[in-house]
Structure 1
Amino acid sequence: MNSELSLLALWGYGLATLGYIALTVHLVHLRRTTAPNRTNHVLISAVALSALWAATGAIVHLLNWRELQPLHEALDALRYGAWFMLLTLLLSPSPTDRSPPPQWRPSRLIFIGGTLIFIGLFCQSLRLIDPLSPVAEHAAHYAGLALVVFGIVLVEQLYRNTTEDSRWNIKPLAIGLVAIFLFDLYYYSTAVMFKQIDEDAFAIRGFAYVFIIPLLILTVYRTRARPLNVTLSKTAVFQTTTLALVGLYLLATSAAGYYVRYLGGSWGGALQMVVLFAALLLLMLLGLSGSMRARLKVLIGKNFFRYRYDYREEWLKFTNALCAENSVLQLGQQVIRGLGNMVESPAGSLWTKDASGHKFIQSARWNFPVSDITEPSNSPMITSLDASGWVLSLEEFRSRPGRYGSLTLPPWLLEVPNAWLVIPLRTSAGMVGFVLLTTSRTPIDLNWEVNDLLKTAGRQAATFLAQMQATEALLESRKFDSFNRMSAFVVHDLKNILTQLSLMVRNAERHADNVEFQKDMLLTVRHAVDRMRQLMLQLREGATPADGFSGVSLDEIARRVQKSKSGALPAVDLKIHDAVSIRGHEERIERVIGHLVQNALDATPTEGKVWMAVRREAGMAQIEVGDTGQGMSADFIRERLFKPFQTTKQGGMGIGAYESRQYIQELGGEIHVESEENVGTCFRVRLPLLEIQTTSDLQQPEMK
């Protein structure tokens, strides 16, 4: 190292020494005014070791004493250990934490960090024995890189598991330590790659540690004002553990590649590439392995937590999966997948009741073969599951059948390959179904916690399935109701067509030789056939065939209706006051007016009077249909006239008036009724007027 860099390093490490000594004295003074606390003691130790480390670094450059370099790096490892101890203590759960009590064991982190520190100290001791040993120096660099990775993992774990309110306290410390660890990551990475320390990085390393002193002081005072509250998350532990394992794996791979290259002679470079490729391929296989992930989750749950599950996460994940589907089949697959993921099962099948309710059939499957096996709803297994709600373990049933009393399982269930658990899906109304899961990817102890979780999740899934089945049944019922209503409308229209044809047949006996009557009869029959064809299409499609709205001459429709009723008594009188046009479906409008006229004829004796009148009224097209028949009461008009299946006629269906008003309202019109018993009835249908111009707006009057 040149003299300028050595002077820069001396200033950096010197300032760090003074700063950490002053901080140590200040922390000791603060400890006297506070209650004894292990965290404060460890923090003082970490700061004091940092001061010693900086002091040895300053001595190395002040006296140019290179033999002191291994001691400086040994103090670096001890200083890391003190910071690791501080982070581990901060990760211990708070007494005010209301989450399920974790079995977080700081001793496990201490063991991991202590192992890494021991390796680093061992490598430094080898360097003290043989300062020129390149193997010991390179191993020490690898140990330093491992310590940095472990430190980053601990800070990430602390920040992730600290509650939102407490992050304000811990943020300066986390920022400072992460900044230092990232600097050291670069420092040791370059040393590993280039087999020597970067002199520039070494020279300014002391300044980097000086910069975080204010952050440490800020953390101390924030923590004194407001205590930390750390809640350990299983997801965070899993991700952090995975990150740490990947980091250690890459470090081991790098070390193996280096030594293969170092000892491989002329083949060293090629062998190093082979080792690195094989290691990366193995890492990808392990990372994508469901079995490895399952084993890691079980390992973490056993060693770091008293409870195996993070119930909040499991419940949110399971509920979101159930709410995301809108059909019984898709919901069934999500039920199987959700229950299987809770116990790391890779496959399963769902049995639910069939339409008869007498047996259970396979309704959904996940990585499971199709099965036509059925289970009677009154079988011993179904009865036992419904009564107890237990989760049935087939492995336990085979090994200890007495635990389930006199329960008899169906032979097909015992013959299913890898069959493991039978989870009942039951509500207060009874069994909705059951889920059969296959053997898990990793051995799992089916204790009370697993059984209670599966039992409760099964109840929730049963509720969702029952609700989905009820919804589908309701939709099907509504479809049938809609079809029945449409059928009633079609039958009503067919009745009107039949009445028209019957009238034509009666008149044919008197006018069979009349050529004009024969022409009208053919036109009437052709018109009836077309209307029946449209009705059949409407019945088949479930909706009125939409030919599109068009301009319709209301007076022409009135004339056709009058002509179609020409043989009826009393005769229909028609008065056209104005020629008006409207927008709508011609056939349906004619059907509405024909219905009103036919009702008037049915309600009026032969000596009475039935009339139609077409006019323009207050900017609307209006057709009036009146009679002097039996009339209707005010109560009937108000409460029953426009409701379906309500009628005063013995042979009527009571849906014509309802359908007529529905269509008139669709066109933006309205229908008014005036009636008095034994006096008569008058319907006035008002529709938006369609103005049709016969001249161009471009024509201008001539100037005289």
Structure 2
Amino acid sequence: MRPGALHLSRTMILRVLAIAASLAYLAVTLVLLDAVEPLGLVYAWLARAMVVFGASFAAMMILPPGRTRSWLKLRLAQHLFRHRYDYRAEWLRFTRTLGDGGADEALEERIERALADITDAPQARLLVMTSSGRLDAAEPAAWPDGAAAGCGIDFARMVERDPRVLDLDALRAAPEEERRLIPAWVLGDPSIWAGVPLVHGDRLTGFILLARPPVDRRLDWEDHDLLSVAGRQVASHLAEAQGQEALAEARRFHEFNRRFAFIVHDIKNLASQLGLVARNAERHADNPAFRADMVTTLRDSVQRLNDLLARLSPQGTQRPDPPRVARPRAVLEAIAARCRTQHPIALSGRLDVHALFDPARLELAIGHLVQNAIEASPPDEPVWLSIDRRGFEVEVTVLDRGRGMSADFIRHSLFKPFNSTKLGGFGIGAFEARSLVASMGGRLEVESREGEGSRFAILLPFAEEPVAA
């Protein structure tokens, strides 16, 4: 366009024409009102009312609002503009409809509305590709009548091989060979005007059926080009949504597998504990004190197995208790009493120290570390548990004189699942222990030397002893 030349948008031209038509309508009405003036005062008012209501009724009957708008757009595109569509305005509206859906409007509904608005179609129906290779309706609806039947695999393959916009009026008049793969309910419904394939890359993700617009017309090359491009854009949105859904499902499976891996590790620890109890029973079965400890260990193992089953069930995802002020010594005493039947445990440290933690999570974390220490230690070498104060933190230590670990293993593999120096180990205990401690606001430190043993220190926030009520 030359500099300084006047350019009017389609919207402005439509508004100017609407204003001109309104002014012409008012002018004709005024002329008719003036023509009835000689009839006299009484008859003039009656004639004027009849003229106004008659002209308004005629306008509404001849030019319904929706049909008028479609008719004007069609005629203006044919006679005033080079192209049928204002591509900039159409694309802005299309992307806004796809991306700005409300909380109650699903993506499928936005897709149908975005494609229907392009051709002024009163309705649109989305068919999505299923895992069986069929195209089925995304949601139940009244239009069209045969949408519930979907489209077969042969039709889906045909559209995927040749992803062009289908002019259904032309197909209805085509020879039988050209339309043999088109579903009969599509060809038999004259309200279905066009079909738009939704292709992402080289994969068909869906298919859109468009209803006949208010002003009937044939599809032309601009319709084909714009609907084809819009279909590919819609296909990318649909593929992204399907990918997000698949990712969410994969995350749910990952979370289940993660919980299952932890539980398998805990079951292995219980099996090791019960195995040691069974071996010691052969030598100490006549000792009443050992029998009492064995019964306690078996009862505790049954309780822990029931807890593991509860954690594995879908209902076992309740949130843990928040940290509270308590004595870590009580947790260490419970662990020592449980584990002494399978290995010597030495307990030391302050009794009066309080910290901020969740006893259940702390017991589970220390239990993992103690079990690892027992498996790494010689049978007659005890595992040491101790408690001390370190500034504003409370230090709970698990010490063993076992095989130890290399600095490289600690740095790169210790806290990564499924890496273990033990034969048949899962490599999950230290990882879960650190996660449990971190969830309570603490941290886990480790020191180790090969052939000398390992020292794990759990550091928890120090807390003052609660005042009795």
Q: TM-score range by the shorter chain?
A: 0.7 to 0.9
State the shift of 1:658 in Å.
0.9
Distance 1:308 1:695, change over 3 A: same
Distance 1:408 1:556, change over 3 A: closer
1:551 partnered with 2:458: no
Instruction: Give the structure 1 partner of residue 165 of structure 2.
Output: 391
Distance 1:366 1:458, change over 3 A: farther
Instruction: Give the structure 1 partner of residue 228 of structure 2.
Output: 455
Q: Which moved more, 1:315-324 or 1:510-519?
A: 510-519
Name the TM-score, length of structure 1 as normaliser: 0.60
1:103-118 alignment runs, 5 A limit = none
1:652 partnered with 2:428: no
One-letter code aligned to 1:546: P
One-letter code aligned to 1:95: R
1:635-674 alignment runs, 5 A limit = 635-674=408-447
SS at match of 1:672: strand
Question: Within 1, Cα distance between the matches of 2:92 and 2:255?
Answer: 38
Q: Deviations over 1:227-260 (max 9, x none)?
A: x243321122223323333343344445545656
User: Which residue, out of 78, 86, 90, partners 1:314?
Assistant: 90
Q: Which moved more, 1:304-313 or 1:263-272?
A: 263-272
One-letter code aligned to 2:149: I
1:548-587 alignment runs, 5 A limit = 548-569=322-343, 571-577=344-350, 579-587=352-360
1:95 partnered with 2:12: no
- Any conservation in 1 of the 2:165–2:194 contact (CA below 8 Å)? yes
1:429 partnered with 2:202: yes
- Any conservation in 1 of the 2:401–2:453 contact (CA below 8 Å)? yes
RMSD between aligned alpha carbons? 3.5
- Any conservation in 1 of the 2:263–2:308 contact (CA below 8 Å)? no
Q: Deviations over 1:581-627 (max 9, x none)?
A: 22222111110011111111111121222111111013210011011
Instruction: Give the structure 1 partner of residue 138 of structure 2.
Output: 363
- Any conservation in 1 of the 2:277–2:294 contact (CA below 8 Å)? no
SS at match of 1:95: coil
SS at match of 1:372: helix
Instruction: Give the structure 2 partner of residue 679 of structure 1.
Output: 452
- Any conservation in 1 of the 2:396–2:458 contact (CA below 8 Å)? yes
Distance 1:390 1:253, change over 3 A: same
State the shift of 1:535 in Å.
5.6
1:633 partnered with 2:406: yes
Q: Deviations over 1:479-527 (max 9, x none)?
A: 2112211222233334445555666677788669959965984697368
1:71-150 alignment runs, 5 A limit = 94-96=1-3
SS at match of 1:690: coil
Q: Which moved more, 1:237-246 or 1:588-597?
A: 237-246
- Any conservation in 1 of the 2:194–2:209 contact (CA below 8 Å)? yes
Q: Deviations over 1:272-314 (max 9, x none)?
A: 4465467667778999832222112212222221111111111
User: Which residue, out of 532, 546, 570, partners 2:306?
Assistant: 532
Instruction: Give the structure 1 partner of residue 110 of structure 2.
Output: 334
One-letter code aligned to 1:564: R
Q: Deviations over 1:647-667 (max 9, x none)?
A: 223333222211111222233
- Any conservation in 2 of the 1:348–1:367 contact (CA below 8 Å)? no
Q: Which moved more, 1:591-600 or 1:229-238?
A: 229-238
One-letter code aligned to 1:608: E
Greater helix share, structure number: 1
Distance 1:512 1:338, change over 3 A: farther
- Any conservation in 1 of the 2:192–2:211 contact (CA below 8 Å)? yes
Question: Within 2, Cα distance between the matches of 1:612 and 1:673?
Answer: 14
- Any conservation in 1 of the 2:403–2:451 contact (CA below 8 Å)? yes
1:461-480 alignment runs, 5 A limit = 461-480=234-253
Instruction: Give the structure 2 partner of residue 11 of structure 1.
Output: none
- Any conservation in 1 of the 2:361–2:437 contact (CA below 8 Å)? no
Question: Within 2, Cα distance between the matches of 1:506 and 1:278?
Answer: 106
- Any conservation in 1 of the 2:294–2:341 contact (CA below 8 Å)? no
Distance 1:537 1:606, change over 3 A: closer
Instruction: Give the structure 2 partner of residue 236 of structure 1.
Output: 12
Q: Deviations over 1:194-237 (max 9, x none)?
A: xxxxxxxxxxxxxxxxxxxxxxxxxxxxxxxxxx2433211222
- Any conservation in 1 of the 2:277–2:342 contact (CA below 8 Å)? no
Instruction: Give the structure 1 partner of residue 370 of structure 2.
Output: 597
Question: Within 1, Cα distance between the matches of 2:262 and 2:26?
Answer: 76
Distance 1:366 1:319, change over 3 A: farther
Question: Within 1, Cα distance between the matches of 2:299 and 2:60?
Answer: 78
The unaligned stretches of length 5 or more in structure 2 are: none
One-letter code aligned to 2:134: K
Instruction: Give the structure 1 partner of residue 119 of structure 2.
Output: 343
Question: Within 1, Cα distance between the matches of 2:340 and 2:70?
Answer: 85
Question: Within 2, Cα distance between the matches of 1:621 and 1:390?
Answer: 71
One-letter code aligned to 1:234: R
Question: Within 2, Cα distance between the matches of 1:655 and 1:383?
Answer: 47
One-letter code aligned to 2:447: E
Question: Within 1, Cα distance between the matches of 2:34 and 2:434?
Answer: 89
Q: Deviations over 1:20-71 (max 9, x none)?
A: xxxxxxxxxxxxxxxxxxxxxxxxxxxxxxxxxxxxxxxxxxxxxxxxxxxx
Q: Deviations over 1:459-489 (max 9, x none)?
A: 1111221222122212211221122112222
Question: Within 1, Cα distance between the matches of 2:325 and 2:355?
Answer: 6
Name the TM-score, length of structure 2 as normaliser: 0.87
Instruction: Give the structure 2 partner of residue 293 of structure 1.
Output: 69
Instruction: Give the structure 2 partner of residue 615 of structure 1.
Output: 388
Question: Within 1, Cα distance between the matches of 2:271 and 2:30?
Answer: 93
- Decide which structure has the larger Cα Rg and report it: 1
SS at match of 2:77: helix
